[in-house]
């Protein structure tokens, strides 16, 4: 805390007027020119140097230096363009390092507004930095250019600082008008003062002097822009005026893309090449707050624009968007206004990265929004009326080239069917949950493993109207899913991976992106959409979609509902579109004297609608051509009784794919040396790799392990994952059923962060226990495997598994108890084996993979 010890300013008259500057003071100088600031900053710096104090100059401006030719000043040169968070944390770290009693001279705060585009973020910087300087018992000088900032921002700074001083000058005289001097008072302190040539300050006491002073004020205010708007708003008003006046817009467009959309150079080029001025202005009109709209929103808008320009024939079949965007500055302001910015800084430290993240998550969920933001939320909900909306993450780093962040952050459906206040509360909670998801362990692990832990990760939010059809009490799209312009999964060798692939489900598309319990989406290779990887009706029914996600208006929420329960409630035309009869099962019941109507979801008639599949293929190929890399999309499709349809594109991003590895000749080895040999059911970009350790989970022992204790296995796998953090060691995990499922009866409920150090993942089936892998290429879990370059194999009980030796490790030493001694009950479930000369070979051309002991 400030000790309030008096210090000399280097100008005795100023000391007399202000009753001295005190340790703990932050002094803001509002000036028309930085020369006015230098008039006070230089004598102060000289005085402090002469007294042997630690004088620090925080340099970040492109303007001429405030302190030139000064000896005894330590200068830190910072890059404000690195962003609010990075810059603010750097300043915080400098203050921490220099300790108490330091003296700071800062460059102009107004240059932060220029770097960050908004007054709001400049104000946020001051509001979190000023109290810390006070706590560290320092003195800090800050200049602020008059007329460059909104009244609201000036008010925030004035409220936070200890001294706020107005300086005016002309060729002959300089005036100082103290507006705030905390904890000091005299009858004349807050009157305007004239600075005399001998550096005394005299109060303006007569009418002539006061008239001269206010004439100067009037002259300067004549050239001040309207200050009831943030600089960001003033900039956009100017941009709109330029557009309407048909003035050149290219320079303005570059500034808009940088400030409102993205800093990704490849995305920026695509946007600048294809957007028109009206596109930018439309986005701004739909923004809440300021800052950027984030990667997901950028991808969605860019993809729609590219289709508008390059596939105009589909205009009537593509739903227009009416989304809203909550800017990244709202996220930062929420953290600052709720008082946990210091926790945000703590979370950036390696030692407290995860623990502080947990605390931060709880704080975010318990915070409150400002009245101004709540009012904007309310107006947005009034626009949507009672239409359901989805609140989606759209972070700064999300959906860009290189890092997809697939499934790392929340998306929350709001049914929007309650009272206005109830809907507002639901929306606010949804936004908080998305903000809090930035602190989820899986998100933190993802950023850390990709070297992004210290990067700015600003969270914007995309609010979209849910595209769908109302079926009585239920609301959902007829179908939805994901699409990929390049498919790594070919269940037949004659399928063209460049034709693209869809994952298609009935109802909400959540079941297309997650490895959901007991559900299997329809896989559609767009080369031959009618073909299925499941060859017989029994398999098609067994591995079909069991549940549908829909908004239930009577309960004002989204629910997962058994498809058998829902299908009879749908109109006939929709049932025929998404479902088909299991004729063999119906016949079996008929033979036993029972009439049963047995249907399952296959989306068969959608798949056979050639106009739809051709359109989706054209969309994917066009976007891939324009992006210059493969893409993946999320979409919904709605039909009507006349079988007409409309597609809604809700997301697009660059697709991470395994590079195509060269084929390698698989060595001829005996069955005893072979762990497994499979065809077709593997994916990856490796031709061969050694394996140092194998982690084996036994299906039968896992099945018998008590259900309520199965969570222990996740903890044990996580500990093994952390134990083998040495990247020179190569690990293979072999599990029954699915990884990443939420249901232990279907497999192993680990998240990607629990298996991030593994190089090979194998899922195997076991008919006795019911475990079954899912080749869910395109799900969020698979995207993680692709980005991390993890080889995947599914070992099925089909003709495509040529060899699978489950007893391969029977005579090997299990070192699991050495790594996880606290999990003794899992000794029969998990085996950790040091492999000797174990190799994985993949013949990409012949679609064969083998894991063998390579005995020389």
Matching fold, domains 6-221 and 470-654: no
Model confidence pLDDT, tens digit, residues 181-201? 999 888 888 889 988 888 889
pLDDT for the residue numbered 138? 97
* CA nearest neighbour of 565 among 481, 636, 474: 474
Structure tokens at 117: 């585009």
List the domain boundaries for the chain.
Answer: 6-221, 286-466, 470-654, 671-853
Per-residue model confidence (pLDDT) at position 46:
95
Q: How far apart are CA 512 and CA 633, in angstroms?
A: 12
Q: Are strands 193-195 and 201-203 parallel, antiparallel or unpaired?
A: antiparallel
Q: What is the pLDDT of residue 771?
A: 85
Please state whether beta strands 21-22 and 6-7 pair in parallel, antiparallel, or not at all (unpaired): antiparallel
User: Which of 826, 851, 552, 822 is CA-nearest to residue 709?
Assistant: 826
Looking at per-residue pLDDT, the higher value among 217 and 22 belongs to 22
Q: For position 583, what pLDDT does the model report?
A: 81
**Higher local confidence (pLDDT), 661 or 335:** 335
User: 96-114: b or e for each residue (b if 16 or more CB lie within 10 Å)?
Assistant: eebeeebbbbbbbbbbbbb
- Residues 802-852 have pLDDT tens digits of 899 998 888 889 999 999 999 999 999 999 999 878 889 887 777 788 988
What is the spatial distance between Cα 635 and Cα 647, in angstroms, rounded to a whole number? 7
- Tokens (6 digits) for 634: 């999320």
- Are 40 and 48 in contact, with CB atoms under 8 Å apart? no
**Mind listing the pLDDT tens digit for each residue in 578-630?**
998 888 887 888 788 878 888 889 899 999 999 999 999 999 999 999 999 99
Average pLDDT over residues 775-800: 75
CB 714 within 8 A of CB 750: yes
Cα separations in angstroms, 581 against 535, 573, 586, 607: 16, 14, 8, 16
CA torsion sign for 842, 846, 850, 854 is negative
For the stretch 402-461, pLDDT in tens is 665 666 788 999 999 899 999 999 999 999 999 999 999 888 888 887 777 777 778 999
Residues with Cβ within 8 Å of residue 372, at least 6 apart in sequence? none
Using pLDDT thresholds of 50, 70 and 90, give the confidence band for residue 773: confident
Q: Is the dihedral of CA 14, 18, 22, 25 positive or negative?
A: negative
What's the pLDDT score for residue 856? 47
Give 340-359 pLDDT, tens digit per residue. 999 999 998 888 999 999 99
Q: Which residues contact 167 (CB under 8 A, 6 or more apart)?
A: 29, 30, 31, 32, 36, 37, 39, 40, 174, 175, 176, 177
How far apart CA 213 and CA 18 sit, in angstroms, is: 20
Q: Which residues contact 218 (CB under 8 A, 6 or more apart)?
A: none
CA distance 94 to 100: 11
Q: 153-167 pLDDT, tens per residue?
A: 999 999 999 999 999
Query: 209, 163 in Cβ contact below 8 A?
Result: no
Say if residue 225's pLDDT is above 60.
no
In the predicted model, what is the mean pLDDT of the chain? 88
Class of domain 6-221: alpha beta
288 in Cβ contact with 393 (< 8 Å):
no
Task: Specify the range with the lowest mean pLDDT, choosing from 121-135, 137-151, 367-381, 741-755.
Answer: 741-755
User: What φ, ψ does residue 560 adopt, rounded to 5°?
Assistant: -95, 125
Confidence (pLDDT) at 223: 47
Q: Which CATH class is domain 470-654?
A: alpha beta
Q: What is the pLDDT of residues 237-278, one digit of tens each?
A: 888 888 888 888 999 999 999 999 998 889 999 999 999 999
- Strand residues in 102-154 grouped as ranges (E): 103-106, 139-145
CATH 3.30.450.20 assigned to 286-466: no
Task: Over range 222-244, report the average pLDDT.
Answer: 75
**Intra-chain end-to-end CA distance of the chain, in Å:** 72
């Amino acid at each position: 805390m400030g000790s309030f010890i008096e210090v000399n300013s280097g100008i005795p008259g100023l000391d007399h007027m202000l009753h001295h500057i005190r340790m703990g003071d932050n002094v803001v100088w509002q000036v028309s020119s930085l020369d006015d600031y230098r008039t006070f900053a230089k004598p102060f710096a000289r005085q402090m140097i002469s007294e042997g104090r630690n004088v620090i100059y925080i340099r970040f401006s492109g303007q001429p230096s405030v302190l030139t030719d000064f000896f005894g000043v330590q200068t830190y040169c910072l890059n404000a363009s690195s962003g609010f968070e990075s810059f603010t944390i750097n300043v915080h770290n400098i203050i921490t390092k220099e300790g108490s009693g330091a003296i700071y001279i800062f460059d102009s705060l107004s240059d932060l507004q220029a770097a960050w585009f908004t007054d709001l973020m400049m104000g946020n910087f001051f509001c979190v930095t000023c109290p810390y300087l006070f706590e560290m018992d320092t003195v800090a000088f800050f200049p602020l250019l008059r007329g460059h900032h909104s009244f609201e921002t000036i008010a925030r700074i004035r409220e936070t600082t200890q001294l706020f001083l107005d300086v005016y000058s002309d060729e002959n005289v300089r005036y100082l008008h103290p507006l705030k001097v905390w904890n000091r008072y005299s009858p004349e302190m807050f009157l305007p003062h004239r600075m005399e040539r001998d550096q005394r300050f005299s109060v303006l006491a007569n009418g002539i002097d006061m008239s001269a002073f206010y004439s100067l004020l009037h002259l300067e205010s004549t050239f001040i822009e309207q200050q009831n708007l943030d600089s960001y708003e003033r900039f956009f008003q100017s941009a709109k005026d330029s557009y309407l006046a048909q003035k050149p817009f290219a320079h303005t467009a570059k500034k808009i893309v940088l400030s409102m959309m993205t800093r990704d150079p490849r995305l920026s080029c695509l946007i600048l090449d294809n957007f028109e001025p009206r596109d930018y202005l439309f986005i701004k009109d739909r923004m809440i707050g300021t800052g950027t709209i984030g990667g997901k929103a950028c991808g969605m808008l860019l993809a729609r624009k590219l289709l508008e320009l390059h596939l105009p024939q589909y205009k009537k079949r593509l739903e227009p968007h009416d989304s809203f965007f909550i800017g990244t500055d709202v996220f930062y302001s929420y953290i600052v206004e709720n008082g946990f910015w210091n926790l945000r800084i703590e979370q950036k430290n390696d030692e407290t990265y995860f623990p502080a993240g947990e605390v931060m998550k709880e704080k975010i969920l318990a915070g409150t929004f400002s009245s101004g933001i709540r009012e904007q939320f309310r107006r947005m909900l009034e626009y949507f009326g009672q239409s359901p909306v989805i609140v989606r993450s759209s972070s700064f780093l999300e959906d860009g080239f290189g890092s997809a962040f697939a499934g790392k952050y929340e998306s929350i459906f709001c049914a929007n069917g309650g009272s206005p206040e109830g809907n507002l509360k639901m929306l606010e909670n949804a936004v908080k949950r998305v903000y809090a998801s930035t602190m989820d362990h899986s998100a933190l692990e993802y950023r850390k493993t990709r070297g992004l832990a210290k990067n700015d990760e600003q969270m914007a939010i995309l609010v979209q109207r849910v595209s769908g059809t109302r079926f009585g009490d239920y609301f959902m799209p007829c179908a939805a899913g994901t699409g990929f312009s390049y498919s790594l999964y070919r269940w037949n060798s004659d399928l063209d991976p460049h034709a693209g692939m869809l994952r298609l489900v009935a109802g909400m598309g959540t079941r297309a992106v997650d490895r959901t319990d007991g559900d299997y989406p329809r896989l559609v290779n767009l080369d031959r959409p009618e073909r299925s990887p499941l060859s017989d009706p029994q398999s098609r029914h067994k591995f079909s979609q069991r549940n549908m996600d829909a908004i239930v208006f009577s309960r004002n929420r989204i629910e997962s509902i058994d498809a058998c329960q829902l299908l009879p409630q749908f109109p006939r035309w929709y049932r025929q579109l998404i479902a088909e009869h299991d004729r063999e099962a119906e016949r079996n019941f008929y033979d036993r004297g029972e009439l049963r109507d047995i249907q399952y979801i296959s989306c068969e008639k959608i798949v056979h609608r050639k106009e739809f599949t051709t359109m989706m293929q054209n969309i994917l190929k066009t976007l891939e051509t324009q992006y210059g890399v493969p893409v993946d999309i999320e979409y919904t499709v709605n039909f009507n009784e006349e079988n007409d349809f409309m597609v809604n594109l809700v997301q697009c991003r660059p697709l991470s794919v395994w590079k195509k590895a060269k084929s390698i000749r698989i060595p001829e080895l005996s069955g005893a040396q072979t762990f497994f040999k499979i065809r077709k059911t593997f994916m990856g970009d490796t031709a061969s790799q050694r394996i140092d350790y194998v982690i084996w989970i036994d299906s039968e022992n896992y099945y018998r392990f008590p259900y309520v204790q199965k969570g222990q296995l996740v903890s044990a796998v996580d500990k093994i994952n952390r134990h083998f953090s040495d990247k020179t060691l190569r690990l293979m995990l072999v599990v029954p059923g699915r990884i990443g499922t939420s249901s232990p009866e279907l497999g192993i409920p680990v998240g990607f962060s629990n298996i991030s150090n593994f190089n090979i993942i194998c899922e195997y089936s076991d008919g006795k226990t019911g475990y079954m892998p899912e080749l869910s290429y395109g799900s969020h879990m698979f995207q993680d495997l692709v980005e991390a370059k993890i080889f995947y194999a599914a070992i099925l009980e089909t003709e495509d598994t040529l060899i699978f030796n489950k007893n391969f490790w029977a005579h090997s030493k299990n070192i699991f108890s050495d790594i996880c001694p606290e999990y003794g009950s899992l000794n029969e479930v998990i085996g950790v084996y040091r492999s000797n000369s174990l190799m994985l070979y993949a013949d990409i051309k012949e679609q064969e993979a083998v894991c063998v002991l390579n005995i020389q």
